Structure 1
Amino acid sequence: MRSVLPSLGRRGGFGRRAVVALSVNGLSSMGNLMVSVTIARGESLARLGQFALAFSIYVLAVGLVRTAITETVLAGRVESAARTAVDGARRACVVAVGIGALAAVVGMLLGSPYLAIIGLALPGLVIYDYVKAISLGVGVTKVALAQEALWTGCVAAAVVTALWAPVAPVLVFASWAGAGASIGLAAALRQRYDVLPGWGLDRHQTHVAATFGAQFLVTNGAAQLALTGLASAAGMAVVGAVGAARTVFGPVALLVTTLSSLIVPYLARRRPTTTRARIRTAGPVAVLIFGLALPLVLAVCLLPDGLGRAVLGENWSAARPLLPLLAVEALLAPVALVAFAGHRVQAASTRALLIGGVLGPVRIAVIVVGGVLFGASGAAGALAVLAVLSAGSWWLSYLSLDRGGTRVALDRRTGLSR
């Protein structure tokens, strides 16, 4: 078997990696969209809400590992990328096993097969994303392309089978989760990543990872908690309607997923340290993202009713009015991602935690109150307001990092602040 060690530490050109990443995440979005559409067409709004919660836990776990662990490798120095990538896989397993066990137990207690399935598959799914992100950012890109093509093929086979046979939507979801977990573990073992759970960071490195992880939890974790609160206070059907509307924004989600593994290495190579330098470096990236997302968002908002019903079935009528509001979130989320990536490269973990700590409780309160008072439209409107607030906060903070005399010293070996 080929070792991952010789494969890392040789960063290719940003343009070439961007093309491969777009292809890889295009396949990923295609597979996720096929599963989402199958479930959206075959389940009631209440069961669709269960799926939305389960999928949000998957997104939460993957995002937490990316923020606290994977991006440490991507933001580090070239010469240490191979060793930190292998060690990082063990830390990813620790997080995935913990969240997965909790989700599986809760799913069994509540009688939700979607939660139970995602809990059992989560360790393999998180390792899958870790290997893919490292391969796209600093490793051999064809590894990510091969594993994504295989997973998408497995998902397509499950979806086609469901079209011709009476297969329950939850079984299609189980096929998606099981195939992804199996491929992730196989790819990690083939590349000789260490997949036995373990930590291995010193106190300072643990503090930096925990701070960025906490920041992610109080923002994105708050978003998942808001969904749970919304389901409890306004009903699972409201969550299902929002989830159905978000399904048709899959092409925009492709951009976010693609760029999340490319922006950090791009900014890490330049490491702008002044406001002017950050505007010159990160500004064009944000403008490019917005320009790419805008036509996709407009196309979704103008989707004909016939095509909408073909994608979402009877749930289209509940999702259609929410599209203009969710379009604001779809446009601004990737723009905010650029500024957050800048905080990660500058190792401004305390500042990031502070912003997340302020935005998190606001997110929960606004979404739940909006959903209770105005139903799905209120929840979607709250998401639009929060998207504006989040993008503005992250960019104002990123551009002002040096004004208070902030100086970030980076460890030459790991890229972490000292």
Structure 2
Amino acid sequence: MSRRGLAAVASVLDQAASSATNILVLVLAARLSSVSGFAAFSMVYVAFSVLLGLNMAYVGQTVVLEKTAERLGPVCRSAAAFTGAASAAAGLVLAAAGALLPGAVGTAFLALGCVLPLVLLQDGLRYCFSALRTPQRALAADTLRLVCVVAALAVQPAGASAARLVLVWGLSALPALLLGLWLLRPYVRGARADLRPYLRRGHLGQRFVVEFAVGNGSSQLAVLGLGTFATPLAVGALRGATTLFGPLNVLFNSASAFAPPVLGRLPGKRAVVRATLVLGLVLGALGAGVAAALYALPDRWGRQLLGDTWPAASAVLPATGAQYAVMGLGTCALLTLRVLAPKATLSLQVVFSLLSVAFLLAGYAAWGVTGAAWGLVLGSALKATAAWWRVHRLPAAGPVCGAARPVE
């Protein structure tokens, strides 16, 4: 296999290791916690997911766009330094907010503030290795992260508090962080960190943050809002159900990362649309199939996965499965637009992501947690429909290679 092929395999495996870490963390936390404890942990994990996405958009995506070999060392050192400083500042804010919030949710957010610099910096190094074209180093660090976090959580006692689980989860990132910094050291030795580009107006990451905020972060924040203003149990149910579909996220992200160069070689719009439509149908069918298998899962097996959270999560499985089915189609529609008309995606993300949030909140107000889940389905379905309609109206032009992200 060529060096490029090995790098692609390492990138896919690294994405799989990262996704497996997220899935197993939530599964283990659900099994160890009470329903209310997992709800508090889920609220913290949703907040972390938003911060992780913001860091990926503002820092990570700009790092991987750097093509000048001589600048990679300073760029990677600057990215790591900025991530460390920004996550420390955000951690202080979270710790202060946690000290003011009552009960288990407050102490869990306080714990997140203490460990946030470790987990964000450890994840952020993945983008440095990607820019350096050494994904196998990211894979080594993320595999160690997976082993350490599973081992650390597996030995926690049943009924452990959400704050304790957050601290264990965060501190278990330290070995992987140290390994990642050691693996990065040869590439950044002698380079100087410069944080000023990240603080300037017009930094490219600002545009990526907007796309993330409207495309992914808005629904995450809406779910978090349900826990703050309605009930944390809603967050536990929605997060628990979503966790079970984690392997599909690996496929969505891999398709988004590696399909554009392949599609860019196809001769014209018709060939690109045919390929992405077939891919979308396959991903949609996989989503429906996983949903059917999970819905048929015996309760005792479900409790082995999610503990006391299983009854609440299983109630929204049909809706979550339907959402993942339409996400498969929608992801490929946005992928098509990224290849054929890269500037056409932002307006779709803004309009239909905000609609998804509105449907989520309206569904919860009318029918509770199940209504919220079906509200997300409706938003994802409308976004996918609008994206494919936009593809249909494109002129028959040659493709332009770009990048895409999953529709949520």
Same fold, TM-score > 0.5, yes or no: yes
> Residue 94 of structure 2 corresponds to which residue in structure 1?
103
Would you say the 8 A contact 2:339–2:401 is kept in 1?
no
Of 12, 26, 38, 2:4 maps to 12
Distance 1:397 1:197 in 2: 41
| Residues in 2 aligned to 1:294 and 1:360: alpha-carbon distance in whole angstroms | 22
Deviations 1:234-265 (A, max 9, x none): 3222222222222322322333455555456x
| TM norm structure 1 | 0.77
Distance 2:268 2:239 in 1: 40
The one of 296, 313, 334 equivalent to 1:319 is 313
- Does the alignment pair 1:59 with 2:59? no
> Which of 354, 360, 363 is 1:367 aligned to?
360
Which residue of structure 1 lines up, in the alignment, with residue 242 of structure 2?
246
- Offset of residue 276 of structure 1: 3.4
Rounded to whole Å, the distance in 2 between the matches of 1:285 and 1:78 is 34
Query: SS in structure 2 opposite 1:228?
Result: helix
Match of 2:324 among 313, 330, 336: 330
Deviations 1:38-80, CA, capped at 9 Å, x for gaps = 3223334333222222111222222223334433444565867
- CA RMSD, Structure 1 to Structure 2 (Å): 3.9
SS in 1 for 2:173: helix
Contact 1:325 1:380 in 2 (8 A): yes
What residue identity is the alignment partner of 1:52? S
Q: Which residue of 1 aligns with 2:61?
A: 71
Instruction: Say whether the 8 Å CA contact 1:41–1:314 is kept in structure 2.
Output: yes
For the pair 1:225 / 2:212, whether they are aligned, the reply is no
Letter in 1 for 2:94: A
CA distance change for structure 1 residues 365 and 409 in 2, over 3 Å: closer, same or farther? closer
Distance 1:254 1:21 in 2: 11
Alpha carbons 1:127, 1:188 under 8 Å: kept: no
Q: 1:27 aligns with which of 6, 14, 17?
A: 17
Matched, 1:392 2:389: no
> 1:226 corresponds to which letter in structure 2?
A
Work out whether 1:132 is the aligned partner of 2:126.
yes
Structure 1 residues 262-301: aligned runs within 5 Å: 262-263=258-259, 266=261, 270=264, 275-276=269-270, 278-279=272-273, 282-283=276-277, 285-287=279-281, 289-290=283-284, 293-301=287-295
Q: Which has the higher contact order (CA 8 A, sep 6+)?
A: 1
- Give the AA of the match of 2:165: V
Distance (whole Å) between structure 2 residues aligned to residue 98 and residue 335 of structure 1: 39
**Would the aligned equivalents of 1:104 and 1:120 in 2 still touch at CA under 8 Å?**
yes
Gaps of 5+ in 1: 1-9, 411-418
Between 36-45 and 363-372, the greater mean CA deviation after superposition: 36-45
Tell me the residue number matched to 2:33: 43
Counterpart of 2:209 in structure 1 is 213
Secondary structure, counterpart of 1:303 in structure 2: coil
Match in the other structure for 1:200: 197
User: Is 1:383 the counterpart of 2:379 in the alignment?
Assistant: no
Which stretch shifts more, 76-85 or 96-105?
A: 76-85
TM-score (norm. length: structure 2): 0.79
In 2, the alpha carbon distance for the partners of 1:296 and 1:378 equals 21
Matching residue within 226, 230, 236 for 1:234: 230
Which residue identity does 2:293 align to in structure 1? A
In structure 2, the partner of 1:113 is 107
2:406 aligns with none
CA contact (8 A) 1:11 1:137 kept: no
Count of matched residue pairs: 393
Cα deviation, residue 392, structure 1: 2.9
Q: Distance in 1 between matches of 2:175 and 2:62?
A: 25
Is the aligned partner of 1:161 residue 2:155?
A: yes
CA change 1:79–1:212 in 2 (3 A) is: same
Distance 1:170 1:199, change over 3 A: same
Structure 2 spans left out of the alignment, 5+ residues: 403-408
1:217 Cα deviation after fit? 0.9
One-letter code aligned to 1:200:
P
SS in 2 for 1:12: helix
- Aligned-residue offset at 1:11: 7.2
Q: Summarize deviations over 1:346-388 as a string: whole Å, max 9, x none.
A: 8946x44422332243222211121122111101111111121
Q: Is the 8 A contact 2:111 2:167 kept in 1?
A: yes
Partner secondary structure for residue 60 of structure 2: helix
